[in-house]
Amino acid sequence: MKMIKTALIVATLLATLSAQAQEVTIRKNLGERIPQLQKIDEVSKSPMPGLFEVRVNGSEIFYTDAEGNFLLQGSLIDTKQRRNLTEERVDKLTAISFDALPFKDSFTIVRGNGKRKLAVFGDPNCTYCKRFERDLQNVNNVTIYMFLYPILSADSNEKSKHIWCAKDKAKVWQDWMVREQLPAVASCDIAALTRNVELGHKYKITGTPTLVFADGSRVPGAIAAAEVEKRLTTAKN
C-alpha cells in the first residue's frame, strides 16, 4: 500500500512538472512568434485532449498545441452534449458580481412585485436601447437598475445629466426612450455618471444596452422580452 501511495505521489509530481514545462514552452513560443501574445494571462488544458486554452486580455480565448506551433481562434464545441464550451468559458470570465454593483449610481424602475432583478447600462442616444426599453415594457415583476452610461456622444452626457438630475428619473428616462419626450433641463451633482463610465471600462462594457442578470451573467446588446423573461427565470442571485 505504501509503495502504491508513493507511486501515485511521484506520478502526480511528474504530471505537474510536465504541465509546467508545457506552459513555459507555449508562453515562450507564442510570445516570440506573435507579438500580440507576449502577455498571456493563463495557459490551461482544454476539455479536448492535446489542446490548450490560451487566455489574453482578460477574456479572449485561443487554442494551441503543447508546443505552441499552431493557434486556433473560434468556438470549441462539445458535440455529444451540444455545448459551446468557448462561449460558456467567456460567459464565466465576463460575469459581473450583481451584488457588487454600485446601485447608488443607478435609479430603479419597478414593475409588479419587483422580485426579479436586472441591471441595464444604457445610453439615451442609443437606438438599440430605445428598442430594448420598449420591449421591456412587457416584462413584469422585475426591478430594473438603470445605470446611465453616456458613451456615444457629448449629447449623450448632456441628456444623461438632465435625466439623472430629474425629480423622477425613471419617468423622464422612459418618457424619452419610449415616447420621444425630451428631458427638461436640470442640473445637479453628476459624479455618478463619471463613475458609471469608469465602472463600464473596468468591466469592458463597450456597447449599449448591456444587461447584467442576478446570477452575474451579462448580455451585450438588445434582446427580445421573451429572452429577458427566460433569463430572469433561470438567473438565481
Torsion of CA 214, 104, 164, 187, to 10 degrees: -170
More confident of the two residues 132 and 18: 132
pLDDT for 236 equals: 65
More confident of the two residues 21 and 110: 110
* 7-20: burial string, b at 16+ Cβ within 10 Å, e else: eeeeeeeeeeeeee
Q: What is the pLDDT of residues 4-36, one digit of tens each?
A: 655 555 445 444 545 688 999 999 999 999 999
Task: Report if pTM > 0.85.
Answer: no
| pLDDT over 70, % of the chain | 91
Mean pLDDT of 100-113: 96
pLDDT for 198 equals: 97
pLDDT for 17 equals: 44
- 99: pLDDT strictly greater than 90: yes
Name the residue ranges covered by the structural domains of the chain.
2-93, 98-234
Cell 446601485 locates to 103
Task: Find all residues with CB under 8 Å of 146, minimum gap 6, and list them.
Answer: 106, 107, 108, 109, 119, 120, 122, 169, 170, 173
Q: What is the pLDDT of residues 141-189, one digit of tens each?
A: 999 999 999 999 999 999 999 999 999 999 999 999 999 999 999 999 9
pLDDT for 14 equals: 43
pLDDT for 13 equals: 45
Calpha distance 176→168 (Å, rounded): 13
Q: What is the pLDDT of residues 219-230, one digit of tens each?
A: 999 999 999 999
Q: Domain 98-234 has what CATH class?
A: alpha beta
Mean pLDDT of the chain: 91
Calpha distance 140→210 (Å, rounded): 19
The third-level CATH classification (topology) of the domain covering 2-93 is Nuclear Transport Factor 2; Chain: A, (3.10.450)
- 89: pLDDT strictly greater than 60: yes
Choose the weakest-confidence range: 57-61, 79-83, 197-201: 57-61
